[in-house]
Structure 1
Amino acid sequence: MPSLADLLARAQTSLVAGDSRGCLHACDGILATQPQHPEALHFAGLAHAALNDRAKGIDCIRQAVGSAPTFAAAWSNLGSLLMDEGHLAEAEHALRTAIRHGQPSFTSPLYNLGNLLRHQGRLTEAEDAYGKVLAVSPHHHATLYNLASTLQEHGRLDAALALAQTALRLAPQHAESAFLVGNLLRTQGRLAEALTAYDTALASDPDHAACHTNRGNLLSEQGRPLEALAAFQTALNAAPHNERYASNLLCALHYIDGITPEALLDAHLFWDQRYGCPEPRPAPPRPSRTGQPLTVGLVSADFGCHPVGWFCLPLLEGADSQDMRLVLYSDRLNEDQNTHRLEQAAFAFRRIRECDDEQVAEMIAADGIDVLIDASGHTGHNRLSLFANRAAPLQASWAAYVGTTGVAAMDLLLADACQIPAGDETLYRERVIRLPVGYVPYAAPPYAPPPQPRQMGAPLTFGSFNNPVKLSEGILQQWALLLGSVPTARLLVKFRHLDDPATAQHLRMRFAAAGGDISRLDIEGGAPHAEMLAAYHRVDVALDTAPYSGGLTTLEALWMGVPVITMPGRTFASRHSLSHLTHLGLAELCGQDWDDYRAKAASLITDSARLARYRDTLRPRLQASPLMNGAGFARHLSQALRAVWEET
C-alpha cells in the first residue's frame, strides 16, 4: 500500500502532467483516511477546477485553508479561482491572505492581485502590486506586460513604453507585447516605429485581427489608403464575424480613388445583411406631437473637440426646448471642454460608455425619445447595433458618416441638395431628407485668431490641412500639375501625423511619384488648435481633397479668411465643401472638372486684390450665413423631423 508521501507525490506529478483524474485518485487515497489533509484538499481542488468543476474546486480549497490557515499557496489558488468566477471581494481577501503568509519570493498572489485591481480600475493599487513583483523578479514577463498596460491606461505613456519594450526584449515572439509597443508608439506619433512593431507582432501571430486593424489605422494616418484597405480586409478575414472590422473596411472605401456611390451602397447593404439585425423591434406608433416638444436623442462617441462636437454645438445651443428637446447619449472616453459645453446645452446628457445596447435602449425608452439620431455611422466606437435593432420610433443618420449606413432600421439620412442631388435617392438605403440650410451648422472655436493680411514678399502658397488619408494618388497628381502651372507657388501640407519624419518622407516620395516638385512642398506636423488655425496666415488658397472632401477643415480655412477650391464628385464624401461653399454663395470656388479646378486655383492665387477681399470678407460672410445660425438650423431640423413624424 503506497505511503502518504507517495500518494502526495503522485497527486502532484499527475496534476503537473495534466492528468487531473489521476491526481484525484491519489488524493482520494489520502482523504479516505485523513479527510482534512490540507495538501490533498488543495491538489483535489485544483484537479476539479481543471475538469471545469470550479465550484467543487473552490470548496475543496476552502477546506484546505480551513485546515491550514497559513497555507499561502492554497490561499493564492483560491483567490485565482474566485477571481475567475467573478467573486472579486472574496478573491481579493484570499490573495491578500496569501501575500501575508507567503515568503517574499512568493509573487504569484501579488501578480494576481495586480490583475484583479486592474480589472476593477484601481490602477494605482494595481501598479503597486505589479511593482512589488518586479522588485523580486525584475524579468517577470507577464508582470512587465501587465504593468505596461496599466500605465497606458493611467496615461503614463513613456513609462509604459519602456516596460513594454523590456517585455518584448525578454519574449521577442510574444505578439501581444509587440502589439502593445506598437500601440504606444502610435499614440506618441512615432508611426514608422509603430508599424515595425505591428509587423513584429504579425510575424508571430499572422491572424492577430486587432493588430491588422490598428496597422490599417496607422497606414491611414500615413496617407496610404490602399494599403490600409488591405489591412482592414485581412483583419476581417481573420475575424469574419466582427462587425467592427467590417465597419472599418466600409470607412476605408470612401478614400479610394474611383469609388462609386453604387459600389458603396452594395458594400453597406452587404454589411447589414451579414451583421445587422434580421428581426429588429417593430417601430412603435408615433402619436402626434402638435403643440408639444419633439424629443430627439443623439448617439455618438465624438461629443467633444471633434468635427461632430463642433457641428453639434450650434444645434444644441440654438435649439428651443419648447420645440425640440435634445438628449445626448455619449460614448466618449476622453471628455474635454466641448463635452462639458455640450452637456450644459443639452436637455439631458447620458454617459453610456459602460452600458450595453439593451441598457441604452431602456434608457432611450425611459427618456421618451421620438427620434434617435446616429452621429457615428461606421466610424469608431459606433452603436449601429443599437440602431439595427431599433431603439426609437424614428431613426436617422446625420453629421458623422459620409453616406448610407446600409442599416435597414435607419429610416432617414439627413443631408442637403448639394450632398445628395435630386435623382440620387436610390444610392442610399435611408430615405433622404434635405435640409435647406446646409447639412451641418458650424461653431468656430472662441480662441481662433483673426485673419491677417498677407505678408509682403511671402511666397504664393497653396495649402491643405486635411488628414493625410485624404491625400489620394489622384489629388496629389492634380496638385503636381497645379504647381507646374504656377512656377512661383509653394504647397504647404500640415497635419499632426506628419510630425513623424518617415511619414513626412513617404508623402514627399508620393508627391514626387505624382510628378510634383518636392523642393516646393512644405510639410509640417501638428500644433495646438489655435496655432494650427494661425498657420492659415501663411496660406493664400486652400486646396480641397478628393475623393474625400474637407468638412470641418474647409470651414476652418474659410473662418481664417482663406478661400477653398473644391472639385466635387458623385459620392457623399466628395461633396462637403460644395455644400459649405454653395450656402455661402461662393459657387465660383467649385470646379466643374479637374481642368477647371486647377484653372480656378491658379487664377485665384495670382489675383492679389481678390485674395485680399476674401481675407477681409470670408469670416463676416460665414458669420452672417445659415451655416453659423444654430437657432435657424435647429428650427429647420425640427420642421423636417416633425414633417416625417406626423406622416400616417
Structure 2
Amino acid sequence: MQRSPQTADRARRQWQLGQTHAKAGQWSAASKAFASAAKLAPHDAVYALNLARACMKQGRMAEATREAERAFRLDPRSTLACALWAHCLSEQKRHAEVVMALKLLPADVPRDYDYYDTLARGLQYSGQTQEAIATYFEALAIRMDLPTVHYQLGVCFNDIGMKEEAAECFHTALALGIGKHELGVRGLLSYFEREVCRWRQAQVDLDALLTALHALPPDAAAPTTPFAHVTLFDSPEDQLLAARSASRLLAQGVQPLPPLKPRTAAEQQRRLRIGYVSADFHQHATCILMAEMLEHHDRERFEVTLYSHGKSDNTAMRQRIERAAEHFVDVYRQPDADIVQRIRADGIDLLIDLKGYTKDNRLGLFAWRPARVQASFLGFPGTTGADFIDYIVGDPVVTPIQHAAHFDEKIAQLPVCYQPNDRQRARPEVPSRAECGLPEGALVLCGFNQPFKISAEVFDSWCRLLHRLPDAVLWLLEWNTQVRKNIECEAQNRGIAPSRIVWAPRRAPALHMARLQQADVFIDTWPCNAHTTASDALWAGVPVVTYIGRTFASRVAASLNGAVGLQSLVCTTVQEYEDRIVALACDAAARAGLRAQLAQAREGSVLFDSVRFTRDIEALYLRMMARHDAGMAPDHLLA
C-alpha cells in the first residue's frame, strides 16, 4: 500500500530526530524515534536498519536481530543490512545462522574483505573448518596484511591437526603485528609447536613468550594463555603473572551481581546447593575421573546442578553424567548474562568451575559473582589468578600450604589426593603384544602423555634410558600425524633408531586401557606430569615413575603415587628418575611386586575409593560454606 505524502514526511522527521539523538549517543531516545519512523513506513529498509543499530547499541540484541533481518529482507542487495544482521547473530553466538544470513546475499553483489572475514568466522565457530579455511583465503586475497585473519587461519589449521601450518600462520600474524593480542598468540604458538615436538623453533618462541610476559605492567589486563604457562614451564611465579592478567581481562566490563548474604538459619537447614560448570560433560578426561563422584553425592544433604556449556557428543558417558546429577542444565551457546541469571535464580550456594583456562572455558561467568562461594576444581592444574575465585581444591602434595603465595585463591586441601577416580573404569582382557605392535621380548617404556608434555629435556632423558637399556622400546601415542616424523628425526639425532619407538594409534577408552596393561613401566613427563593418564596407568597395574617439580601440574603424579602407596617412585632429580627406571627395568621381580600391589590398590586404595572421595570433598564444601555462613572471608582449609 502506498504511503500518503504526509505519512512519509512524518516518518522522515522521526528518522531525522533519531539521527540527532544517535549522534549525541542518546540511543534510547534514538531507538524510539527510529521505531516511530519504521512504524509509519514499514517497507523502508533504511528506517529498519537504523532501528536495528540503535537497539544493538543498547544491548537489545533480539530486537536488533529482528530489525536487521527485516531491513535485509526489504533490500536483499544491501550489504550493510546483511552485515548488521550477521553481526547481531554473531554477538549471540548463533554462528550457523551467521553463515545462513551471509549466504543469502545475491551472488552478483560485490563482496569485500569484511564479508569474507565474517563468513569465515561463522563457518569456523559452527564447526565447518575446511570451508572456513577456504573463506579465510578469500579474505586474504583481498587484504593479505591483516594479522587477525592469519591468526584465525592458524586456529583452523590446528583444529584439523595441521599444527605446523598453524604455527606458521601465527608467525605471520606476529610479524604483521597483532597488537594487544601478542602475548596470547605467542602462548598458543609455543603450545602448538610443542604439540608436534618441533623443539628448536619452539625454544625461540618460548623465550620470546617469557620476554613478553615479563614486560607486562603489574596491573595488566592482557590476553595471555595461562594453559601454555602451566604445561610448558615449571615457574609458579610466571603462571601466577599470566593468570592474573587473563582474569583481569575476563572481569573487564563485568558488573558483579549484588553480593549474597550469609545463609539464614532456615536456609542452612535445607540442602546445600552445588553447581558445577563445564563444557566437558561428555566423553572427556574430566568426566572419566569424576563420573562416579557425581553419582555418589549425598542427595539428602546436597542438591547438585550441572551447567553444561559444551556440545553434547551423545555418548554413553554423556547419558551417564546427565543421570548422575539432580539437575542438568544445558546452557550451550547461551550468553554469559543469561547463564549468570539462571545460576542466581537457582539459588546456588557453591559454584565450582571445572575448566579454568582450558579450551571452551567460560571462567568469565564467575566474574559476575552469581554464587555465595566460588571454587576451582580438577580441570585446570594451577591458579586462576582471579579475585572472583575463592578456593582452589587441591591436596597436601599438589597444593602444599608452603606454596600459598603462588595462588590467588585460598587453598582447600582434600586429605589424600585431589583427583577423583571411577571404579567403573573398564577392565578389559589384555591383547597380545603382537596385537599392540610391540616386540615380544622387549622391555616396554610407556610414555602415553600427549606430545605437548614431551620437551627436548624429557626426550633427552628418554633417549639416555634407551641407550642404557638396549632391549627396551619406547611406546608413544600417535596423537597427530606430524609428531611422528619430528620425534623419529630427533631420536636419530640422539643415536636412537626410529625402530625402537613403537607408535600407538588413538583408540576408544576401553581398548586403550586394555593395551596399556602391556607396558612394563610408565615413564612420566615434566614440568607437566601425567594426570588422568597416570590414573589410567595405575588402574591398569603399570607402575609410574615421576619427577616432581614446583608447580601443581608437576606434582600430580606424585600425589597419585602417594595415594596407592608408591611414594618410592617419586623422584626429585632427573638423575634419580633415570636410575629408578633402569633399576626397575633390570628387576622383573620388583616390577611383578608393584603390579600385584596395584592390583590390590584397585580394590583397597584411597585413590580408587570413590565413596570416600565423595564424602571427603563434601566435607570440604561444608567447611567452605561454614566460613561464609559465619560472615568470615575465605581462608586456607588444610587437610
TM score, norm. by length of structure 2: 0.77
| Matching of residues 376-391 of structure 1 within 5 Å | 376-382=355-361, 387=366, 390-391=369-370
The yes-or-no answer on 1:314 pairing with 2:308 is no
Equivalence for 1:215: 189
Give the superposition deviation at 1:123: 5.9
Moved more, 451-460 or 279-288: 279-288
Contact 1:92–1:113 (CA<8 Å) still a contact in 2? yes
Cα deviations across residues 297-341 of structure 1 (Å, max 9, x unaligned)? 333333333332223212111122113332323333455533443
Equivalence for 1:6: none
Equivalence for 2:131: 159
Q: Provide the C-alpha distance between the structure 2 equivalents of 1:558 and 1:614, rounded to a whole number of angstroms.
A: 10
The yes-or-no answer on 1:586 pairing with 2:560 is no
Moved more, 583-592 or 209-218: 209-218
Give the superposition deviation at 1:375: 2.6
Contact 1:314–1:629 (CA<8 Å) still a contact in 2? no
Equivalence for 1:575: 555
Moved more, 133-142 or 49-58: 49-58
Q: Provide the C-alpha distance between the structure 1 equivalents of 2:207 and 2:24, rounded to a whole number of angstroms.
A: 44
The yes-or-no answer on 1:459 pairing with 2:436 is no
Equivalence for 2:228: 252
Equivalence for 1:14: none
Indicate the SS of the match to 1:494: strand
| Matching of residues 318-467 of structure 1 within 5 Å | 318-333=296-311, 336-337=314-315, 338-352=317-331, 362-382=341-361, 387=366, 390-408=369-387, 410-421=389-400, 424=403, 428-443=407-422, 449-452=428-431, 454=433, 457-467=440-450
Paired letter, 2:285: P
Give the superposition deviation at 1:192: 1.3
Equivalence for 1:93: 70
Indicate the SS of the match to 2:459: helix
Cα deviations across residues 135-155 of structure 1 (Å, max 9, x unaligned)? 325865444433333333332
Give the superposition deviation at 1:454: 4.9
Paired letter, 2:69: E
Alpha-carbon spacing, 1:242–1:529, altered in 2? closer, same or farther (3 Å): farther
**% of aligned pairs identical?**
26
Alpha-carbon spacing, 1:202–1:474, altered in 2? closer, same or farther (3 Å): closer
Q: Provide the C-alpha distance between the structure 1 equivalents of 2:526 and 2:565, rounded to a whole number of angstroms.
A: 22
Give the superposition deviation at 1:442: 1.1
Moved more, 563-572 or 450-459: 450-459
Alpha-carbon spacing, 1:140–1:495, altered in 2? closer, same or farther (3 Å): same
Paired letter, 2:309: D
| Matching of residues 3-152 of structure 1 within 5 Å | 74=46, 81=53, 86=61, 87-99=64-76, 126-133=98-105, 135-137=107-109, 141-152=113-124
Equivalence for 1:284: 261
Q: Provide the C-alpha distance between the structure 1 equivalents of 2:383 and 2:423, rounded to a whole number of angstroms.
A: 28
Paired letter, 2:74: T
Cα deviations across residues 150-206 of structure 1 (Å, max 9, x unaligned)? 333332222332233233234323434333322221110011122222333444443
Q: Provide the C-alpha distance between the structure 2 equivalents of 1:489 and 1:143, rounded to a whole number of angstroms.
A: 56
The yes-or-no answer on 1:595 pairing with 2:575 is yes
Aligned pair count reads 603
Equivalence for 1:550: 530
Indicate the SS of the match to 1:91: helix
Q: Provide the C-alpha distance between the structure 1 equivalents of 2:367 and 2:100, rounded to a whole number of angstroms.
A: 44
Q: Provide the C-alpha distance between the structure 1 equivalents of 2:263 and 2:136, rounded to a whole number of angstroms.
A: 55
Cα deviations across residues 265-294 of structure 1 (Å, max 9, x unaligned)? 677678778987999976733556887643
Q: Provide the C-alpha distance between the structure 2 equivalents of 1:444 and 1:57, rounded to a whole number of angstroms.
A: 59
Alpha-carbon spacing, 1:190–1:274, altered in 2? closer, same or farther (3 Å): closer
Equivalence for 2:635: none
Alpha-carbon spacing, 1:229–1:321, altered in 2? closer, same or farther (3 Å): farther
CA RMSD of the aligned region, Å? 4.7
Q: Provide the C-alpha distance between the structure 2 equivalents of 1:448 and 1:153, rounded to a whole number of angstroms.
A: 38
Contact 1:549–1:577 (CA<8 Å) still a contact in 2? yes
Contact 1:296–1:370 (CA<8 Å) still a contact in 2? yes
Indicate the SS of the match to 2:75: helix
Give the superposition deviation at 1:238: 9.8
Paired letter, 1:316: L
The yes-or-no answer on 1:295 pairing with 2:267 is no
Paired letter, 2:555: R
Give the superposition deviation at 1:546: 1.0
Give the superposition deviation at 1:387: 4.8
Contact 2:195–2:452 (CA<8 Å) still a contact in 1? yes
Indicate the SS of the match to 1:255: helix
Give the superposition deviation at 1:545: 0.9
Contact 1:75–1:97 (CA<8 Å) still a contact in 2? no
Cα deviations across residues 590-610 of structure 1 (Å, max 9, x unaligned)? 335333321222232344455
Q: Provide the C-alpha distance between the structure 2 equivalents of 1:386 and 1:126, rounded to a whole number of angstroms.
A: 24
Cα deviations across residues 356-399 of structure 1 (Å, max 9, x unaligned)? 66665554444443433333334455555555665444443322
Paired letter, 2:519: V
The yes-or-no answer on 1:637 pairing with 2:617 is yes
Alpha-carbon spacing, 1:517–1:418, altered in 2? closer, same or farther (3 Å): farther
Contact 1:123–1:154 (CA<8 Å) still a contact in 2? yes
Q: Provide the C-alpha distance between the structure 1 equivalents of 2:474 and 2:189, rounded to a whole number of angstroms.
A: 29
Give the superposition deviation at 1:552: 0.1
The yes-or-no answer on 1:473 pairing with 2:451 is no
Contact 1:415–1:434 (CA<8 Å) still a contact in 2? yes
Q: Provide the C-alpha distance between the structure 2 equivalents of 1:462 and 1:596, rounded to a whole number of angstroms.
A: 16
Alpha-carbon spacing, 1:410–1:174, altered in 2? closer, same or farther (3 Å): closer
